[in-house]
């Protein structure tokens, strides 16, 4: 059976095109990228390209930030982004800019992997000021906090998604599974501005909501990812395998520790025990390969440090022992290191 690439908690559904059967339609933006409504994409990989495509589809101006002249040249050779969804292809044309440009950025969508966040955003820091709205759309936790500390005067929003996407080429993304996305304010400046600056993101043909308590959504995602992703990586198995012994016992131990830490932080998770939520996701995504397992298999760095690693750092500050999460983090890190050799 084929596998959906993406999140452990992406309850992926096959996509049917209902509202835009305009395959082959070429969208061209006419506004300049310095327009204050333009969304600048930092990290135009699977998720960044997915949002870029859907924004352009909705006639929103998009600018892809390129870190090297080579990346910019690639857009000279092929200026289009291609979205493949349900076997149909849609092309659209974004603006492009080098990181080093001096054009101010008003709306920034950060979609790098969590471990690349700081390096990436620091490269465009000279273009960010207090009027910039920054949206960090990633898995894991800790990065949103780092961004908020780096830009205390800018409105920082966080997002979490269960959409599933993967790249098949530098400018081509496949929307592999429908999910849901939540965006919400991460710092006071964003809280003061509310959801209005994000309206363009909320209006797309992607199911998304504005969520005042985005911290809880981030924690829910973190908790599920803590329970599933690392285990599938070390056991080299699909999500559904975790419902069987002895993996299930390991998942229970991880969930117990996550709940202890969350409780100490007064952070609500789910209305029911975490293990029930984790089992539900493992069942619903039984055939999926988690993104962490894919990363290990492809010898890429994983996001374990901002998932179970983040949980362990929180636990340490609270003096709560979390040996199972600690061991899992170390095993995944070792696995990645071994594959690097």
Ligand X SMILES: NC(=O)c1ccc[n+]([C@@H]2O[C@H](COP(=O)([O-])OP(=O)(O)OC[C@H]3O[C@@H](n4cnc5c(N)ncnc54)[C@H](OP(=O)(O)O)[C@@H]3O)[C@@H](O)[C@H]2O)c1
- Please, which of residues 302-331 interact with ligand X by CB under 6 A? 303
| Least distance between ligand X and beta carbon 292 (Å) | 9
What whole-number distance in Å separates Cα of residue 247 and Cα of residue 290?
A: 15
Subset of residues 127 to 146 that bind ligand X, contact rule: CB under 6 A? 138-139
Give the largest Cα separation in the chain, rounded.
57
Nearer to ligand X, 50 or 200 (CB): 50
Q: Is 46 helix (H, G, I), strand (E, B) or coil?
A: helix
Q: 117 pairs with which residues across the strands?
A: none
Identified catalytic residue from 91, 95, 221, 279: 221
39-58 burial code (b ≥16 CB/10 A, e <16): bbbbbbbbbbbbbbbbbbbb
Residue in the shown chain whose Cβ atom is closest to ligand X:
45
Interface with ligand X (CB under 6 A), residue total 28
* Shorter beta-carbon distance to ligand X: residue 232 or 253: 232
DSSP string covering 70-96: HHHHHHHH---EEEEETTEEEEEE-EE
- Residue 158 as a binder of ligand X (CB under 6 A): the answer is no
Interface characters, 162-201, with ligand X (x: CB under 6 A): -xxxxx----------------------------------
Which one of residues 67, 180, 235, 331 is an interface residue with ligand X (CB under 6 A)? 67
CB 225 to ligand X: min, Å: 8
Minimum distance from residue 167 beta carbon to ligand X (Å):
5
Residue from 8, 111, 253, 285 in contact with ligand X (CB under 6 A): 111
Binding residues among 28-57 for ligand X as defined by CB under 6 A: 42-48
324 SS3 class: helix
Indicate whether 97 belongs to the interface with ligand X (CB under 6 A).
no
Please report the DSSP string for 138-179 in residue order: -SSSSHHHHHHHH-TTSEEEEEEE--EEEEEETTEEEEEEB-
Residue 7 in contact with ligand X, rule: CB under 6 A: yes
Q: Are 144 and 190 in contact (CB under 8 A)?
A: no
In the three-class reduction of DSSP (H, G, I as helix; E, B as strand; rest coil), residue 180 is classed as coil
| Alpha carbon distance 134, 125 (integer Å) | 11
Annotation marks residue 95 as catalytic: no
Residues numbered 219 to 258 that lie near ligand X (CB under 6 A) are: none
CB neighbours (10 Å) of residue 175? 21
112 near ligand X, rule: CB under 6 A = yes
Which residue has tokens 């924004």? Answer: 55
Chosen residue from 119, 149, 205, 287 binding ligand X by CB under 6 A: 119
Catalytic residues: 221
Residue ranges in contact with ligand X by CB under 6 A: 6-7, 42-48, 67, 111-114, 116, 119-120, 123, 138-139, 161, 163-167, 291, 303
């Amino acid at each position: 059976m084929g596998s959906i690439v993406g999140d452990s908690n992406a309850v992926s559904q096959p996509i049917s095109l209902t509202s835009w059967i305009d395959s082959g339609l070429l969208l061209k933006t006419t506004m300049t990228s310095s327009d204050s409504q333009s969304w600048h994409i930092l990290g135009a990989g699977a998720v960044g390209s997915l949002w870029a495509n859907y924004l352009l589809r909705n006639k929103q101006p998009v600018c892809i930030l390129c870190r090297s002249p080579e990346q910019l040249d690639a857009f000279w050779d092929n200026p289009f982004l291609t979205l493949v969804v349900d076997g149909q292809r849609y092309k659209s044309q974004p603006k492009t800019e080098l990181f080093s440009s001096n054009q101010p950025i008003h709306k920034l969508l950060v979609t790098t992997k969590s471990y690349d966040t700081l390096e990436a955003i620091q490269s465009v820091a000279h273009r960010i000021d207090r009027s910039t709205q920054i949206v960090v759309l990633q898995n894991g936790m800790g990065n949103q906090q780092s961004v908020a500390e780096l830009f205390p005067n800018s409105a920082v929003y966080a997002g979490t998604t269960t959409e599933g996407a993967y790249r098949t080429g530098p400018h081509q993304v496949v929307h592999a599974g429908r999910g849901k996305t939540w965006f919400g304010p991460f710092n006071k400046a964003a809280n003061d501005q509310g959801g209005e600056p994000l309206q363009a993101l909320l209006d797309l043909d992607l199911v998304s909501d504005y969520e005042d308590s985005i911290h809880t959504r981030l924690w829910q995602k973190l908790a599920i990812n803590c329970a599933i992703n690392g285990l599938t990586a070390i056991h080299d198995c699909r999500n559904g395998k975790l419902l069987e012994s002895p993996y299930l016992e390991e998942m229970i131990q991880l969930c117990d520790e996550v709940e202890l830490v969350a409780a100490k932080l007064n952070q609500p998770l789910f209305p029911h025990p975490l293990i029930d939520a984790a089992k539900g996701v493992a069942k619903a995504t039984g055939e999926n390969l988690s993104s962490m397992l894919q990363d290990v298999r492809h010898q890429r760095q994983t996001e374990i440090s901002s998932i179970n690693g983040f949980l362990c750092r929180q636990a340490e500050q609270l003096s709560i022992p979390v040996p199972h999460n600690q061991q899992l983090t170390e095993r995944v890190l070792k696995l990645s290191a071994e594959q690097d050799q």
